Chains A and B, each alone.
Chain A
Amino acid sequence: MNHITKKFNTAANQVNITSAEQAGIKARLMAAMAANPATDRSTQRHQSPVQNPAYHVQKSIVSPFLSWMQMSVHIRSQYVGIFLVTLIVLGGVSSAAERALPGDSLYEVKTSVNENIRSLFSLTPQSKAQLHVELAVRRLEEAEKLAVTGKLDTMTKDDVEKKLDQHLAVINDTILTLEEAIATDPSATEAIGDAGVSTANTLMVTEAPVSDLSDEPAQPIAPSSAPMAKMGKKMVSPAATDVNPAAATNDTAPDHTAATFSMRAEPASFAAPMALTAPSAEPVTPAATSATMSVSIAHFASSSDSSVTSGTTSPSTISATTTESVLTSALESKFAEATAVLKQGSAKISARKYGEAAILFQKAQRLANEIRVDLDARTASSTASTTPAASVTTSASSTAATDTASTTTVIKQ
């Protein structure tokens, strides 16, 4: 032990840094110290950060994205991952909800999330009304599907009806707003007329199918047709003098499915109201669907006639001719669609898929109704009798209706 300490002491004493080496290091150290001087703590310590101007400078130039940029790539990718997963999950739920029906767990997501998001994007009253018309049709289609699959019970029915009422209320409010806008600014008439016509048409169309859905057609439709009728009445402005006598008939027969309501459907001449009568007083037979179809087509002739007479009293008819060609092509495409749907329905029947066939026929009927309403709108605004194109469409519609009648009878048998 002693010899070790001795050896180490001797060795240690012999190893020394030379003064030149020491001075060399010292010079380099002092140069480094001059380049990087000490921060003066005696002054810095007693100054609050707020008083120190350097603090403000530093604060003001810090970018809000700096913390994000300073994160390690690993952590950043984690955040991005979480965000993407959330997005995918929400998107999946949302798109799955699109197919949900009343009674499904995702139905609420569909109606209160998806559709509310859509309504955020409809900024003008017109587009808002358009959207809610679309949604009302959607509610009816849901009821249709439920009825076909036999799932339309009181609960789901109430649900659909409640939602339908809400949509109708919104549409009604929007129309009232538009009317007010018209009162203050007559130049807005055209746009509002367009919105009005599509609203009216679509609602007319939606009336019939629900009545055919259930085994007892009168009951389920009664509550939902009530607001429609109400709405129709509301929509009648003081200028609407033309009241169809069929309305009275319908009032006396409350059990009948279709409601009668008056609405303005003429695009440009907003002041000229016209009465549209949905098929009323129909016998509730097994072949109700086809019967409704043919009756509605047959009815078309008379209602258009009456509309024509009321149209002749209408003072503003000028702009109708300008929209005529547009309307004709729209009608033709609609008719083509209806025919296609009928063909699909027939195919389903031959494939013995009667449920799907029934839906398709109902759709065809709806399209036929739409065509009828469009034609009504046109004839009402036109002083002349039905145009050749319209008559062609009408006869074609009748043929389509006959087709449906025969096929539906086949199903029932």
Chain B
Amino acid sequence: MLNRHNMRKDDIEQNFIALYDSLSAALFRHCFFRLSNRERALELVQETFLKAWEYVQSGQEVKNYKAFVYHIANNLIIDEYRKKKSTSLDVMQEEGFDVANNDEAEIIQSVEISQVKQALNQLPEKYRQVIVMRFIDGATLTEISETTGQSENAISVQLNRAIKMLQNIIRP
């Protein structure tokens, strides 16, 4: 998409804006289901693209922009989890259940969304990642593998286990 060879400065910037337009909605959704927090997801989308721009602007070569952007987002999400872990149990409970009450958009959300969010909350982080990518983003195994850096085999095993766990959580 962004072939940097013989690319002029203005082209680089225009292409980056185009990249944002095409990916921001999907990335927001991804972040939303990963973090269960709309505000935080919006912040993370912005943070991801700013970081991506820093990298692109310095003249570094990027082969797969989609995987690249999702990779940055993934790292930021993991950082987020680490920050959460370091906080107390009370704070975690607050963020897990009460945040939705504080947010108007969360209150009016559908039954499906809250069910999915609850189910995802019970999954370990690495299963949550592959499930969100597979069922929310609609990414293929190859795409997931490119983003996470793991082999397709490993991703497929993780997906299977995650689905089994989800089946136990979400009854039809």
Q: Which of A16-36 contact B (CB under 8 A)?
A: 16-17, 21-22, 25-26, 28-30, 32-33, 36
- With CB as the reference atom, state the residue of chain B lying closest to A28: B46
Q: How far apart are the CA atoms of A26 and B12 in the complex, in Å? A: 16
Q: How far apart are the CA atoms of A154 and B13 in the complex, in Å? A: 90
Judge whether A11 and B110 touch: CB under 8 Å. Answer: yes
A11-B112 contact, Cβ under 8 Å, with A36-B54, A38-B13:
yes
Interface size class of A (residues with CB under 8 A): 20 to 34
Residues on the A chain within 8 Å of B49, using CB = 25, 29
User: Does A388 reach chain B (CB closer than 8 Å)?
Assistant: no
Q: How far apart are the CA atoms of A348 and B25 in the complex, in Å? A: 103
Residues on the A chain within 8 Å of B32, using CB = 15
A4-B33 contact, Cβ under 8 Å, with A17-B24, A17-B25:
no
Q: Which of B45-99 contact A (CB under 8 A)?
A: 45-46, 49-50, 53-54, 56-59
Main secondary structure of the interface of B (DSSP, over half): helix
Residues on the A chain within 8 Å of B45, using CB = 17, 25
Could you list 6 further interchain pairs (A-B, Cβ under 8 angstroms) beyond the known A1-B163, A11-B136, A25-B45?
Answer: A7-B112, A7-B116, A12-B135, A14-B112, A16-B29, A21-B42
Flag A267-310 by CB within 8 Å of B: 1 or 0 each: 00000000000000000000000000000000000000000000
- Residues of B that sit less than 8 Å from A by CB: 4, 6-9, 12-13, 16-17, 20-21, 24-25, 28-29, 32-33, 42, 45-46, 49-50, 53-54, 56-59, 109-110, 112-113, 115-117, 131, 135-136, 163, 166-167, 170, 172
Q: How far apart are the CA atoms of A21 and B41 in the complex, in Å? A: 11
A–B complex contacts, Cβ < 8 Å, 17 sampled: A3-B172, A4-B135, A4-B163, A4-B166, A10-B112, A11-B110, A11-B116, A12-B136, A14-B112, A17-B24, A25-B20, A29-B17, A29-B50, A29-B53, A33-B16, A33-B53, A41-B7
Q: How far apart are the CA atoms of A8 and B117 in the complex, in Å? A: 10
Residues on the B chain within 8 Å of A29, using CB = 17, 20, 46, 49-50, 53
Pick the contact of A5 from B57, B59, B113, B135 — CB < 8 Å? B135
Distance in Å: Cβ of A26 to nearest Cβ of chain B: 6
Pick the contact of B29 from A7, A15, A32, A42 — CB < 8 Å? A15
Residues on the A chain within 8 Å of B21, using CB = 26
Judge whether B135 and A9 touch: CB under 8 Å. Answer: yes
User: Does A44 reach chain B (CB closer than 8 Å)?
Assistant: yes
Judge whether A4 and B167 touch: CB under 8 Å. Answer: yes
Distance in Å: Cβ of B21 to nearest Cβ of chain A: 8
Pick the contact of B110 from A3, A14, A41 — CB < 8 Å? A14
Q: How far apart are the CA atoms of A11 and B117 in the complex, in Å? A: 9
A22-B58 contact, Cβ under 8 Å, with A15-B33, A28-B46, A41-B7:
no
Distance in Å: Cβ of A18 to nearest Cβ of chain B: 9
Judge whether B57 and A42 touch: CB under 8 Å. Answer: no
Residues on the A chain within 8 Å of B113, using CB = 11, 14-15
Judge whether A1 and B167 touch: CB under 8 Å. Answer: yes
Residues on the B chain within 8 Å of A7, using CB = 112, 115-116, 170
Q: How far apart are the CA atoms of A304 and B109 in the complex, in Å? A: 125
Residues on the B chain within 8 Å of A8, using CB = 116, 131, 135-136
Judge whether B110 and A25 touch: CB under 8 Å. Answer: no
Residues on the A chain within 8 Å of B112, using CB = 7, 10-11, 14
Residue among B45, B112, B163, B167 having the largest count of chain A Cβ atoms under 10 Å: B112
Residues on the B chain within 8 Å of A17, using CB = 24-25, 28-29, 42, 45
Residues on the B chain within 8 Å of A11, using CB = 33, 110, 112-113, 115-117, 136
Residues on the A chain within 8 Å of B16, using CB = 33
Q: How far apart are the CA atoms of A9 and B46 in the complex, in Å? A: 24
Distance in Å: Cβ of A246 to nearest Cβ of chain B: 94
User: Does A72 reach chain B (CB closer than 8 Å)?
Assistant: no
Distance in Å: Cβ of B150 to nearest Cβ of chain A: 21
Residues on the A chain within 8 Å of B42, using CB = 17, 21, 25
A39-B58 contact, Cβ under 8 Å, with A12-B29, A15-B32:
yes
Residues on the B chain within 8 Å of A40, using CB = 8-9
Distance in Å: Cβ of A368 to nearest Cβ of chain B: 86
